[in-house]
Amino acid sequence: MTAGDLSRPWETLSSGFEEARAREDSLDRLVEWPAERALLGTVTDLAVLDAGCGNGAKVAQLAEEGAVEAVGVDISGNFMTVESHVELIQGDLSDLRAVPGLAGRRFDRVLFLQSFGYARDPILALRAAREMLTEDGFILLTRTQPVRYAIERAENNGTSLGEEYFATEAFDYRHANWDERVTLTKKPYTMSDLLNTFSAAGLWIETAVEPQMTPESAERYPHKQAVMNKYLGIIMFKLRPLPTR
Ligand SMILES: C[S@@+](CC[C@H](N)C(=O)[O-])C[C@H]1O[C@@H](n2cnc3c(N)ncnc32)[C@H](O)[C@@H]1O
């Protein structure tokens, strides 16, 4: 792998990620997307912005379900072919106001689905998204349960859960199901870090959800229920702007 590839891991990783996501037993299909979709509610006549949209499949579905504006932004630029009213833009979610074509626009829903961790400055990224919301708008943000990486690293490093959960040093991470050649650098985070980030960005949590597999899916895909039992899955937040004083 060249240095250029390393500095732009998602240009290489995105196809492996999308292949893994498309499998019938992917946790995105079984748990995450159904729960994200449910928390989002109806999108008819709404303007939706999906930050870190992957190939754009989710925002394209929202357009089919009635969203009048459906915009996806992703750094990889590895997009599927979509209907003309879906806009997929190669750009950085770290400051959505600076993405080409987005300055001055407003959205009823801004999504960060398993993408927020890649923002350069998490508070700035959320403040920028907050500024783009319409009056009744909200942000839907999902993140891997913070304890998940701590469990894995404690096992790999022969350390304890607490040592890894409260660690502050960035660590290298490879996802076996995506593309093991690509290393992502991740910064550990705790639940307090997440909650404090939302507060600092001027947001309050209307709802938090920790989605689980249905009993039917658990029976059909016991290996995925085992992953959920070990690592807990993701946590999702519906975030609204705090009233300005
Ligand atoms: C784990 S995937 C999630 C994709 C999609 N949101 C989903 O729920 O399936 C993370 C996505 O974030 C994108 N990404 C990573 N860093 C980014 C950045 N700085 N700006 C925009 N997108 C980014 C990646 O290319 C990838 O598509």
* Three-class SS state of 224: helix
Q: Ligand 1 centroid to 80 CA: how many Å?
A: 14
Which atom of ligand 1 is the closest one to the Cα of 21?
Answer: 9
Q: Which residues line ligand 1 (CB under 6 A)?
A: 10, 14, 17, 21, 28, 52-54, 73-76, 92-94, 113-115, 118
Pocket test for ligand 1, best of 71, 118, 142 (most atoms within 8 A of CB): 118
Give the residue ranges of DSSP H helices in 65-211.
Answer: 122-131, 146-157, 161-165, 191-200
- Closest approach atom of ligand 1 to CA 118: 16
Residue nearest to ligand 1 atom 26, measured at CA: 54
Residue bearing the CA closest to ligand 1, atom 20: 92
Question: Nearest-CA neighbor of 170 among 154, 152, 189?
Answer: 189
Is residue 177 in a domain? Answer: no
Q: Alpha helix (H) ranges present in the chain?
A: 3-7, 9-22, 27, 33-40, 57-64, 122-131, 146-157, 161-165, 191-200, 215-220, 222-231
C-alpha 158 to ligand 1 mean position (Å): 31
How far apart CA 239 and CA 112 sit, in angstroms, is 11
Candidate from 31, 75, 96 with most ligand 1 atoms within 8 A of CB, to mutate: 75
Are residues 231 and 145 in contact, defined by beta-carbon separation less than 8 angstroms?
yes
| Per-residue model confidence as pLDDT tens for the chain (245 residues) | 343 444 478 777 888 888 888 899 999 999 999 999 999 999 999 999 999 999 999 999 999 999 999 999 999 999 999 888 899 999 999 999 999 999 999 999 999 999 999 999 999 999 999 999 999 999 999 999 999 999 999 999 999 999 999 999 998 878 777 777 778 888 999 999 999 999 999 999 999 999 999 999 999 999 999 999 999 999 999 999 998 76
Give the pair of three-digit tokens for residue 191. Answer: 């639940």
User: What's the pLDDT score for residue 84?
Assistant: 80
Return the DSSP state at 236.
E
Which residue among 80, 115, 184 has the greatest number of ligand 1 atoms within 8 angstroms of its CB, and so is best to mutate?
Answer: 115
Tokens standing for 209?
Answer: 């959800």
Report field, pTM of the whole predicted structure over 0.85: yes
Residue 55 lies in a domain: yes
Residue 215 has what pLDDT? 98
Does the residue 78 lie in any domain? yes
Judge whether 2 lies within some domain.
no
The pLDDT of residue 245: 63
Boundaries of domain holding 223: 7-145+189-241
Domains identified in the chain, total number:
1
Judge whether 37 lies within some domain.
yes
CATH number of the domain that residue 34 is part of: 3.40.50.150
Residue 140 in any domain: the answer is yes
- 114 alpha-carbon distance from chain centroid: 2
Write the DSSP assignment of 25-57 as a string of letters: T-HIIIIIHHHHHHHH---TT-EEEEET-TTSH
Cα(143) to ligand 1 centroid in Å equals 12
In a domain, 174, yes or no: no
**Domain membership flag for residue 45:** yes
Give CA separation, 6 vs 122, 185, 220, in Å: 22, 10, 37
pLDDT value at residue 7: 47
